[in-house]
Amino acid sequence: MSDTSVEIEEVGGGEFERTPVPGSKLKGWKSFIGMYAGEHAAGTEFMIGPLFLTAGVSAFDLIIGLLIGNLLAVLSWRFLTAEIAVKNRLTLYYQLEKICGKKLVTGYNLANGILFCFLAGSMITVSATAVGIPFNMPMPKLTDTMPNGVTWVIIVILIGAVISIIAARGYDTVTKAANWMSPIIVIAFVACGIVALNQLGVSSFSDFWNIWGEGSEPFPGQIKFTFWHVVIWSWFANGAMHIGMSDLSVFRFAKEAKAGWATAAGMYVGHYMAWIAAALLYAVYLKSPEAQAFLSVGDAPPVAPGPLANNAIGVFGIIAVVLAGWTTANPTIYRAGLAFQAILPKLSTAKVTILAGTVATIAGLFPAFAMKLLGFVALYGFILAPFGAIIVFEHFFHKQTGIVKNYAEAANLSFNKSVFWAWAISFGIFYFISVQFDVFLSFVTLPAWLLCGVLFLVLSKYFQKK
């Protein structure tokens, strides 16, 4: 992360929290490159890469699918998030409050904070798989939902406590550490990828391609990923941040909307190179006698980032996994704390951060959040992204439809019914479709987002006339 993120996240400490960012504080697009590269080459990548292999993807689906999906994510940041952010220069929370009203934003903050805690919890799980190696700790299996032993519980609680205390010291501490760590983590991913290619005996591009080949059957308990699964999932893996407008809080510091292109550093270093490097580590492990023993009895071999990285680059791999989980969990817990502070304003930032860290640590005890990360990230985007549609549709279409902009603020409303019903109806319809017809949740994120935006315009027109 760059120094920009210090200023960006000081939002929670009251810096331009409820006023537009002044011109003197604006940053050029280069300031955002380090931040996005650091944030997206992190702990989640060690889990997601291997999970693609457990979903039986083919080489074409993975390599070309990720290329396209990540491009769509960058375009969403550039032409939606950054575009609106430089016009209004407001945080997501304040922008939503103006449109939705205070009471409705409280509900959003609660959902946001809890989901952030679960995500941070899965990163504590990732770090624990590395810390547990010297103690010969049994690693959680793909199908595990509950803690698998006392050692696991102790290690997770200790990691969670350290991360929470450091996050509670404020974002300055977190960011300084992340600035030092992110280059180490990126180098570790590159090193892991190169070593894994050697271990797999890859000497040409066709050898590399054949690691995935035509794909395979998914492992027990996993769903089969096709080309479209990869494209759509990688597009909406950060759906809450781009089409969900969470990164308005970040890009309001940008001089121009073209700063949105800086997200490509995160997508192609983290969500492309790092995912593929992590998948290669798992491909090496799958050839081991231990993994073959799991497969021979119809079980999925565990995805434990610590042992995978240790197998490739030794102690450096263990350190990289601990740091990667740490640098992801830390800002995530801090952001969860900010979301909770909006609900509990009387509590200090340190106290709400410890509260968020406690929830995250409890979540980290249950390996299910990390092992089902593909599904969890899809759910996270599906719940939060449609709120972004409210902001996008109001921004681009309020004149054509003749609705009042920032209606809750203009009419002094604490609960804008148009927003609530637009979100509830779109969520309800598409969640039902997903469950009833077994449709992968990421596939219905865009339709839910579009329907929510359209319904918001229609309902606003109706309610504002009354």
DSSP 8-state code for residue 142 = T
Encode the chain (466 residues) as per-residue pLDDT tens digits.
334 444 444 444 445 767 888 877 888 887 788 778 877 888 889 999 999 999 999 999 999 999 999 999 999 999 999 999 999 998 888 899 999 999 999 999 999 899 999 999 999 999 999 999 988 888 898 888 899 889 999 999 999 999 898 888 765 666 666 667 778 889 999 999 999 999 999 999 999 999 999 999 998 878 999 999 999 999 999 999 999 998 888 898 899 999 999 999 999 999 999 999 999 999 999 999 989 998 888 888 888 999 999 999 999 999 999 888 887 888 788 888 878 887 888 888 788 889 999 999 999 999 999 988 988 999 999 999 999 999 999 999 999 999 999 999 999 999 999 999 999 999 999 999 999 999 999 999 999 999 999 999 999 999 987 6
Count of other CB atoms within 10 angstroms of residue 103 = 14
- Helix/strand/coil for 27: strand
Residue 385 near residue 445 (C-beta atoms within 8 A): yes
Residues linked to residue 254 through DSSP beta bridges, in sequence order? 27
d(CA 300, CA 371) in angstroms, rounded, equals: 11
DSSP 8-state code for residue 264 = H
Q: Domain locations in the chain?
A: 40-372
Phi, psi of 27 (to 5 degrees): -120, 150
Distances (CA, A) of 30 to 140, 259, 260, 267: 40, 8, 10, 15
Burial of 17: CB neighbours in 10 Å, binned 0-12, 13-18, 19+: middle
Distances (CA, A) of 66 to 178, 317, 324, 343: 26, 25, 21, 37
Q: The domain 40-372 belongs to what CATH superfamily?
A: Hydantoin permease (1.10.4160.10)
Angle at 390 between CA 39 and CA 27, to 5 degrees: 40
Residue 20 near residue 89 (C-beta atoms within 8 A): yes
d(CA 172, CA 128) in angstroms, rounded, equals: 25
- Give the predicted TM-score (pTM) of the model: 0.90
